[in-house]
Amino acid sequence: MSLCRSVNMEQLRVLELYSGIGGMHYALKECRVPARVVAAVDVNTTANEVYRHNFPATPLWAKTIEGLTLDDFNRLDFDMILMSPPCQPFTRIGLQGDVSDPRTKSFLYILDILPRLAKRPRFLLLENVKGFETSSARDALVKTLKDCGYSYQEFLLSPTCLGIPNSRLRYFLIARALPESFSFQTTTEVLVAFPESKRGDSADRTPNSAPSHAPAPNSSKGRDEGRVLYKMETARDLEKKRCQDEDESVRRIQDFLEEEEEEEGGAGPGMGRYLLPPKTLLRYALLMDIVRPSCRRSVCFTKGYGHYVEGTGSVLQSCTDAQVETAYAALDSLTDEQKLLQLSQLRLRYFSPREIANLMGFPSHFSFPENTTTKQRYRVLGNSLNVHVVARLITLMVG
């Protein structure tokens, strides 16, 4: 059955809350559901500039969600809510303030508005971090949905389940107003893969499923597995990465990179500005997650990428003739100058904002206003979402 038929042909009116740079809007476009964003709401000036630059025809309300009245919501007469509330209250680093964190206030306000709307929206999709599933905010959401007569399904999904070499494990909830039902059997379990649709849609493989994380049959087990070999990595870490890189159902990083003009050392003129500065190399060499263009993995890019190194995203080894093992050999015994000489063989660089956008599923026509700085680009991308994952969920929600 075509999506147009299953959503009654009419154009759905969509409200995009916490719209950021429009990841949800791109997902909606990608899944080709007949729909129109009737309002996008966000308070962040930079994100709003990027949104306006890419969606000049969409009404963008640069105000707080708590600043909208029930009448404002009713006037929009929407059929679908797409939203990514702030995730800091639910992350470990954000101290898990949950419902008592002031940043959750706007979300609780939405839950308060929902039962009072003149017309109940048919669909609702929420994205948040892993950790949300055990929060009181999640319990409040589920209670509101049940009270308002929705069926719902929760997920924990990463783009790797769609063959994208980037980990970004996120919580999602899709809801549909009864008596309409989903095309798949819902469960109270949090699903870690896209379900098989009863209406003929095919399922995908589980995120991070067997081939990418299971140890290879001949891997050397035993005492030495946890011992640091080089960098800060143990045999177990390296084995896991090797397995991920051999998983042919996931694409290679090179498919997502910007074209580089071949130049001495591999990093072309444009990309040279993304090379890691010496100070960063010296200070954080042991903590960086390094990937080569041929790899089939990268860690989640967060808003501090390009600024902080630890845990904010992978860096790229742009000179592939050099070996990480060699560059890192006996680093402890070297002077700073010698260390730099050795490490610089790898030509380590940050992924460019465009490359991160590619990995996050943003279309090639997505762009930034010229005055958006590189730091701002990393920041708003780090706050955004994987477009392809959300597109699959919207398709599943309305199908």
Ligand X SMILES: C[S@@+](CC[C@H](N)C(=O)[O-])C[C@H]1O[C@@H](n2cnc3c(N)ncnc32)[C@H](O)[C@@H]1O
List the catalytic residues.
Answer: 87
Greatest Cα-to-Cα distance within the chain, rounded to the nearest angstrom:
71
Question: By C-beta, is 66 or 101 nearer to ligand X?
Answer: 66
d(CA 351, CA 295): 14
> Residue 184 gets which letter from DSSP?
S
Nearest approach, Cβ of 9 to ligand X (angstroms)? 27
Question: By C-beta, is 40 or 295 nearer to ligand X?
Answer: 40
Nearest approach, Cβ of 348 to ligand X (angstroms)? 27
Q: What would the two tokens of residue 285 be?
A: 């060499």
- Omega within 30 of 0 (cis) for the link into 179: yes
Question: By C-beta, is 52 or 292 nearer to ligand X?
Answer: 52
Q: Which residues contact 217 (CB under 8 A, 6 or more apart)?
A: none
d(CA 327, CA 189): 46
E strand or H helix that includes residue 105: helix 105-113
Q: Which residues contact 1 (CB under 8 A, 6 or more apart)?
A: 199, 200, 399
Instruction: Name the site residues for ligand X (rule: CB under 6 A).
Output: 18-24, 41-44, 47, 64-66, 84, 86-87, 106, 383-385
Question: Residue 129 in 3-state DSSP?
Answer: strand
Q: Shortest Cβ contact with ligand X: which residue?
A: 20
Question: By C-beta, is 16 or 154 nearer to ligand X?
Answer: 16
Question: By C-beta, is 164 or 322 nearer to ligand X?
Answer: 164
Cα of first residue to Cα of last residue in the chain, in angstroms, is: 8
Give how far Cα 369 sits from Cα of 51, 198, 222, 247, 286, Å. Answer: 10, 43, 53, 37, 35
Nearest approach, Cβ of 388 to ligand X (angstroms)? 13
Residue closest to 271 by CA, chosen among 288, 256, 258, 282:
258
Nearest approach, Cβ of 85 to ligand X (angstroms)? 7
Nearest approach, Cβ of 68 to ligand X (angstroms)? 9
DSSP strand pairing (150-157 vs 170-177): antiparallel
Nearest approach, Cβ of 43 to ligand X (angstroms)? 4
Question: By C-beta, is 113 or 288 nearer to ligand X?
Answer: 113
DSSP strand pairing (80-83 vs 123-129): parallel
Q: Are 157 and 375 in contact (CB under 8 A)?
A: no
